[in-house]
């Protein structure tokens, strides 16, 4: 039976696991093991890091894996680099499955920035121009990015994440624990309730978390969008689970 390793942690990875299992392929899905109560795919699941490219290469050989699909989140750059390196070393073919990034629509004027630190610099600039209270920011860049933003003068944060950030959480941060999908009505209410001025987010793409972008457009919030990290050179890339399943099936 053909054996495929899916590097997961995304809705696309779960869709691919279901699609391949339905096609009679033996799938092992791999999760980083960071989220306390992850949504699980169908089929076999393993959790935790491999120990870098060396560890992944050894694992691929030991488990006799025929094909590797990196369906991790677009910002999981270390895992993606590790997959490319392990594939090159072992000869196990690699496909990257990435949902498309978000595109601005009519009425949007996003400020695209290359990194979290560049997003923080934009917020500092906005705070220096604002009088009569802090800039109130809806921050959805992930709990581990919070330290990049917490020390900014004149900035108040509503930080939404799936799991709680590492304590201590400073006074200018209100943490909201939640997991998508979100609705436009819900996002509108949140923006109104917390009198938010700016949405700072990253270009995750996908339908589960687009509602905030629609609500931000409707309510006139400034949007700071962190661009995706680049993919390793020469990787094969598809955007849907069905395309990835056709490739992985062999
Ligand atoms: P990362 O920075 O690229 O990965 C750091 C390390 O975690 C990797 O080097 C690897 O450890 C381990 N790892 C990551 N993904 C793994 C997987 N699927 N299976 C086994 N080990 C994995 O990744 P991250 O940004 O921390 O994301 C971790 C996981 O959360 C990913 O699976 C991703 O799909 C999911 N996720 C991330 C985001 C995000 O915003 N970054 C959002 C939603 C979901 P070793 O080097 O020891 O192998």
**Per-residue model confidence as pLDDT tens digits over 47-68:** 999 999 999 999 999 999 999 9
Give the model's confidence band at 35: pLDDT under 50 very low, under 70 low, under 90 confident, else very high.
Answer: confident
pLDDT of residue 127: 96
58 found inside a domain: yes
Instruction: Please state the rounded mean pLDDT for residues 204-226.
Output: 96
Ligand 1 centroid from CA 73, angstroms: 8
Q: Is residue 154 domain-shared with residue 205, that is, in the same domain?
A: yes
216 found inside a domain: yes
46 found inside a domain: yes
User: Which residue in 10, 225, 2, 1 sits closest to 96, CA to CA?
Assistant: 10
Instruction: Please state the rounded mean pLDDT for residues 155-165.
Output: 96
Which of 8, 73, 206, 225 for mutating ligand 1's site (highest number of atoms within 8 Å of CB)?
A: 73
Cβ(201)–Cβ(141) below 8 Å: yes
Q: Is residue 147 domain-shared with residue 213, that is, in the same domain?
A: yes
Question: In the predicted model, is pLDDT for residue 215 greater than 90?
Answer: yes
105 found inside a domain: no
The residue whose C-alpha atom lies closest to atom 8 belonging to ligand 1 is 79
Ligand 1 centroid from CA 75, angstroms: 9
**Per-residue model confidence as pLDDT tens digits over 185-212:** 999 999 999 999 999 999 999 999 999 9
Instruction: Count up the domains in the chain and report the number.
Output: 2
Question: In the predicted model, is pLDDT for residue 178 greater than 90?
Answer: yes
Instruction: Please state the rounded mean pLDDT for residues 150-172.
Output: 95
Q: Is residue 25 domain-shared with residue 93, that is, in the same domain?
A: yes
Ligand 1 centroid from CA 80, angstroms: 9
62 found inside a domain: yes
pLDDT of residue 51: 98
Q: Is residue 185 domain-shared with residue 242, that is, in the same domain?
A: no
29 found inside a domain: yes
Q: Is residue 86 domain-shared with residue 20, that is, in the same domain?
A: yes
Q: Look over the chain and give the mean of its residue pLDDT values, rounded to a whole number.
A: 97
pLDDT of residue 122: 98
pTM beyond 0.85, yes or no: yes
Give the model's confidence band at 36: pLDDT under 50 very low, under 70 low, under 90 confident, else very high.
Answer: confident
Question: In the predicted model, is pLDDT for residue 224 greater than 90?
Answer: yes
CA dist 164 and 86 (Å) reads 32
CA dist 115 and 149 (Å) reads 12
CA dist 178 and 31 (Å) reads 20
Q: Is residue 217 domain-shared with residue 159, that is, in the same domain?
A: yes
Q: Is residue 29 domain-shared with residue 115, that is, in the same domain?
A: no
Instruction: Please state the rounded mean pLDDT for residues 229-243.
Output: 97
Instruction: Please state the rounded mean pLDDT for residues 116-138.
Output: 96
Q: Is residue 124 domain-shared with residue 179, that is, in the same domain?
A: yes
72 CB within 6 A, ligand 1: yes
Ligand 1 centroid from CA 99, angstroms: 16
45 CB within 6 A, ligand 1: no
pLDDT of residue 152: 96
Q: Is residue 82 domain-shared with residue 119, that is, in the same domain?
A: no
Query: 95 is in which domain, residue-wise?
Result: 3-100+230-249
Q: Two tokens at 41?
A: 């795919």
CATH number of the domain bearing residue 183: 3.40.50.1000
Question: In the predicted model, is pLDDT for residue 114 greater than 90?
Answer: yes
Q: Two tokens at 44?
A: 């076999």
The residue whose C-alpha atom lies closest to atom 35 belonging to ligand 1 is 9
CA dist 85 and 24 (Å) reads 28
143 found inside a domain: yes
Q: Is residue 91 domain-shared with residue 11, that is, in the same domain?
A: yes
pLDDT of residue 182: 97
């Amino acid at each position: 039976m053909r054996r495929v390793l899916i590097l997961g942690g995304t809705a696309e990875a779960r869709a691919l696991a279901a699609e391949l299992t339905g096609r009679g392929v033996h799938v092992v899905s791999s999760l980083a093991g960071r989220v306390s109560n992850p949504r699980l795919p169908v089929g076999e699941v393993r959790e935790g890091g491999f120990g870098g490219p060396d560890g992944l290469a050894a694992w691929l050989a030991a488990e006799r894996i025929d094909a590797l699909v990196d369906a991790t989140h677009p910002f999981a750059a270390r895992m993606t680099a590790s997959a490319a390196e392990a594939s090159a070393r072992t000869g196990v073919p690699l496909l990257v499955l990435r949902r498309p990034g978000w595109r601005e629509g009519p009425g949007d004027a996003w400020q695209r920035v290359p990194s979290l630190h560049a997003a923080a610099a934009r917020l500092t600039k906005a705070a220096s121009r604002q009088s009569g209270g802090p800039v109130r920011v809806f921050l959805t860049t992930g709990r581990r990015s919070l330290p990049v933003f917490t020390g900014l003068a004149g900035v108040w944060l509503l930080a939404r994440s799936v799991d709680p950030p590492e304590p201590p959480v400073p006074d200018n941060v209100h943490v909201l624990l939640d997991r998508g999908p979100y609705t436009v009505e819900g996002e509108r209410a949140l923006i109104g309730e917390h009198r938010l001025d700016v949405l700072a987010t990253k270009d995750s793409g996908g339908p589960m978390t687009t509602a905030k972008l629609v609500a931000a457009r409707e309510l006139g919030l400034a949007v700071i969008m962190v661009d995706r990290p680049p993919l390793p050179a020469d990787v094969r890339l598809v955007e849907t689970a069905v395309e990835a399943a056709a490739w992985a099936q062999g």
